[in-house]
A = this chain, B = another copy of it.
Amino acid sequence: MNLEGMFFPESVAVIGASNREGKVGNAIMKSLKRKYSGRIYPINVKEDNVLGIDAFSSIINIEDEIDLAIIALPAKIVPKIVEECGEAGVGNLIIVSAGFSEAGRGDLEEKIKETVEDYDMNLIGPNCLGIYNPYNELDTIFNPPKRQDRPEPGSVAFLSQSGAFGAATLDWFSEADIGLSKFVSYGNRVDIDEADLIDHLSNDEKTEFIIYYIEGVKDGRRFFEAARRSTKPILAVKSGRTEEGSSAATSHTASLAGKDKVYEGAFKQSNVIRAYDLREMFNIAKAFSFQPLPHGDNVAIVTNGGGAGVMATDDLVDKGLNLARFTKKTKEDFDHAVEEGIIPEHATLDNPVDIIGDAPSDRYQKSIDIVLKDDNVDVVIVVLLFQSPAIEEDIIEKLDGLQGEKPIIAVAPGGRYTHKLTEKIEEKGIPVYQTPAEAVEAVWGLTRCCPKT
């Protein structure tokens, strides 16, 4: 399946384009016009012009070759429109409209499916938001940017069965500066399904990590085979885990959520990382987007607060990660730093390293440098309790200077001052979490993303 024309169309028709505020076809036109530089063709049976662009009464009347048609019209006339797209030689379709199998009209979907196959078209939807591709600004999302930001280009592909939840996640990613390679909200996936998207993204040079929100997959076997084939790590949030949730999913996207145990087993077998909560998904995506992958799961902790070190240690063990055992060399380096007076004698220099409440940024720098050089350490978690008056703000530059091949993950619980500094550290590409458990979650996710051996 070649989806080049779907993600990088040179021409796009919007069927149902409208001048009327509040109409989906109006909002999509605005999203497209904002930055997308390809040719845009509004289709409207009554209007000659939509938002300053000449409009056509039917796709049949356009002489140009149309790579992608976006359909935003009432469900009942969509089968006819799809037929017209086929006749017009359109290669790719996105049907945004709802009112199909999720509303008891599976018959309409069947007709569309047949037509799409007859004309050998690719279809995303119906009942979806479509695509956002930050690399060419193809944007079929009808939510206004004022309410929903679009992420910058990056390496994370996000695929969502649910449109509304997909939009919320994009908005969250944007605020956190998590870079996106592609977003696809695929709704009822009558044609292109989960497996097709994995196959495509696995070969997409912009994508390094695939995140999936699913309620139920169309074809479990195909999905898990594609997941196993994928050269990119996949993280999935699967809802409808419980009987009650599964029943709610059925009325949402007409999904059969299926037995959760079956999914659980299949995720494991196909190396899909499973997140149970959105924040977990978000935490892992942020770490992946900001930091290199570790070469193993041995973690060093450096903290100015003993309590946070204890908590992080518990969380590491819970997640099956290892508290790194320092080499003799590291112990010697620490002893040396104590002799030099950079680290005080009563610091705890075993892992978790507690450089105590009065640690200035020099002490942090020295300790982190020592543990990063330890061959037994793959990742460093740095706890920064900024409430202590001792840490100077130059810790930001010092942390930045320590970045290299091993990932550094920071934890900084707190309020306003902490958030100000957090933002500056994240600008340097080091992700900062509010709690030890979340930082550990992120580290766990990173270790799971390592290439399969």
Contact = CB atoms under 8 A, between A and B. Distances in A.
A175 B386 CA distance: 14
A161 B437 contact: no
Contacts of A436: 278
B417 A306 contact: no
Nearest to A433: B279
A168 B310 contact: no
Interface in A305-334: 305-311, 313-318, 323
A65 interface: no
Contact of A171 (B164, B314, B357, B417): B417
A49 B184 CA distance: 69
A416 B276 CA distance: 24
Interface in A349-372: 350, 352, 354, 357
Given A314-B240, A438-B279, A252 B307 contact: yes
Contact of A165 (B103, B175, B308, B352): B308
A415 B307 contact: no
Interface stretch (A52-60, A188-196, A202-210, A241-249): A241-249
A167 B387 contact: yes
Given A248-B309, A435-B278, A317 B242 contact: yes
Interface in A400-448: 413-419, 434-438
Contact of A248 (B143, B242, B352, B434): B352
A413 B172 contact: yes
Contacts of A244: 313-314, 316-317, 323
A240 B417 contact: no
Contacts of A144: 389
A283 to B, nearest CB: 11
A252 B309 contact: yes
Contacts of A239: 307, 310-311, 314
A27 interface: yes
Please give the count of copies of this chain that the complex contains: 2
Interface residues of A, number: 82
A97 interface: no
A360 to B, nearest CB: 11
A249 to B, nearest CB: 5
A354 B242 contact: no
Contacts of A354: 248, 251-252
Contacts of A37: none
A244 B325 CA distance: 12
Interface stretch (A85-93, A114-122, A145-153, A224-232): A145-153
B245 A308 contact: no
A167 B144 CA distance: 40
B387 A164 contact: yes
Contacts of A415: 148-149, 171-176
A307 B417 contact: no
Contacts of A146: 417
A277 B437 contact: yes
A258 interface: no
A385 interface: yes
Given A241-B314, A244-B323, A278 B437 contact: yes
Q: What are the nearest 4 A-B pairs in CB distance?
A: A162-B307, A252-B306, A164-B305, A175-B415
Given A167-B388, A248-B306, 19 more contacts: A148-B387, A148-B417, A162-B306, A164-B307, A164-B387, A168-B305, A171-B418, A174-B415, A175-B414, A176-B415, A239-B310, A241-B318, A244-B316, A244-B317, A248-B309, A249-B310, A252-B354, A277-B438, A279-B279
